[in-house]
Amino acid sequence: SQQGEEDPQALSIQEGENATMNCSYKTSINNLQWYRQNSGRGLVHLILIRSNEREKHSGRLRVTLDTSKKSSSLLITASRAADTASYFCATSSGSARQLTFGSGTQLTVLP
């Protein structure tokens, strides 16, 4: 079963606007990762935040983590049409090597 639940399921914005996606999870984690999936392609790792971190930046991406609420958010600033994709959060817990993926948010950026 999917540990992560993402919100919203779908998001449509205009180019240049910011996009925010949220992820909630259920168990304690080592880290939380965000992946992007373009249509018909595999997932690509975007950014990782460890459980002892609260915020992380990478280019136009900003990730926050609130372990007390078991939630994370991904912010994409100044969105571009090329950002159109599905975005998944994934959690890593304990000593297990597998990731547990959320259900994903479908982002559409309109030119």
Partner 1 sequence: DAGVIQSPRHEVTEMGQEVTLRCKPISGHDYLFWYRQTMMRGLELLIYFNNNVPIDDSGMPEDRFSAKMPNASFSTLKIQPSEPRDSAVYFCASSLVGKDNEQFFGPGTRLTVL
* Footprint on residues 17-56 left by partner 1 (CB under 8 A): 30-31, 33, 35, 41-45, 48, 50
- DSSP notation for 57-105: EETTEEEEEETTTTEEEEEE-S--GGG-EEEEEEEE-TT---EEE---E
Site for partner 1 contains 103 (CB under 8 A)? yes
Q: Is residue 108 close enough to count as binding partner 1 by CB under 8 A?
A: no
Task: Name the residues that contact partner 1, by CB under 8 A.
Answer: 2, 30-31, 33, 35, 41-45, 48, 50, 88, 92, 96-104
